[in-house]
């Protein structure tokens, strides 16, 4: 690995997380600060090719990622600042972790239904 596969990095406003987007279509969340090589992270797949940009929302509840060749925008919900409530509505899309339940990295998911509604809405215009 030559470490040039990471295309975008953003730190959460609360200073707890670091999000990355890479050439493999992955969005990764790390605990911040992330100072060791090959640090533990949680990986989330959704883009069919490279991720060009990741950005936390102002309240850190969401991570927005943009894809390159797939030309999609995905909104990933974290459990930071109240995202936990959404877990009850989308439990089938959430990975089950036995680790620390308070770890904000644990619950990140994409609301695919909302993405489909937005895509349909955009195609009408």
Residue-by-residue DSSP string for 97-112: --S-TT-TTS--EE-H
pTM of the model: 0.64
> Looking at residue 90, what is its pLDDT?
35
Per-residue pLDDT tens over the stretch 23-35 = 999 999 999 998 8
| Paired tokens of 29 | 């969340």
């Amino acid at each position: 690995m030559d470490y040039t596969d990471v295309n975008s990095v953003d730190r959460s406003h609360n200073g707890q997380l670091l999000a990355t987007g890479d050439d493999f279509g992955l969005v990764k969340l790390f605990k911040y600060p992330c100072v060791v090589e090959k640090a533990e992270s949680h990986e989330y797949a959704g883009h069919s090719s490279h991720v060009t940009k990741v950005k936390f929302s102002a309240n850190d509840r969401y991570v927005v990622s943009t894809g390159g060749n797939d030309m999609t925008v995905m909104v990933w919900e974290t459990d930071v600042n109240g995202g936990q409530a959404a877990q009850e509505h989308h439990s089938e899309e959430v990975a089950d972790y036995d680790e620390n339940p308070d770890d904000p990295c644990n619950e990140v998911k994409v609301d695919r239904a909302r993405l489909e509604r937005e895509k349909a809405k955009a195609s009408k215009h």
